Amino acid sequence: MFSNDKNIETIGQLVETVKHYIGLQSEYVRLDIVEKTVRILTTIAITSILCLLLSLMLIYLSFAAAYALEPMVGSVGAFAIIAGIYFIILILFIVFRKQWIEKPLVQFLASLLLSK
């Protein structure tokens, strides 16, 4: 009853279908990994470029602010005030690093890597 030709042919077709399905799933996984890797690399590249441009902008704005403050407090005082402002910003980033940096980064990576 179990060894007739139709059952053997059906089992053979099932095995071929399963092999094809496994091949398609592995191809899907590879393409998904490539897509997510490209998205991460693109995000890193864009973020790096934006950070570089923002840094250059902040340098020029800092010099402009220092030169604007110079008539009021003197050259050294103006640059010291600008340095103090950056020090306060640094302290704020250290204190709030989990809220401002770690949490959004983890959420972004989790949404990217866990999305289907």
Residue 3: band (very low, low, confident or very high) from pLDDT cuts 50, 70, 90 = low
Summarize pLDDT for 99-114 with one digit per residue, the tens.
Answer: 988 998 888 888 887 8
Distance CA(60)–CA(53), nearest Å, equals: 11
Tell me how far the alpha carbon of residue 13 is from its chain's centroid.
44
Collapsing DSSP to helix, strand or coil, 98 comes out as: helix
Instruction: Quote the DSSP letter at residue 101.
Output: I
Q: Specify the DSSP element, H or E, that contains 32.
A: helix 5-73
pTM for this prediction: 0.67
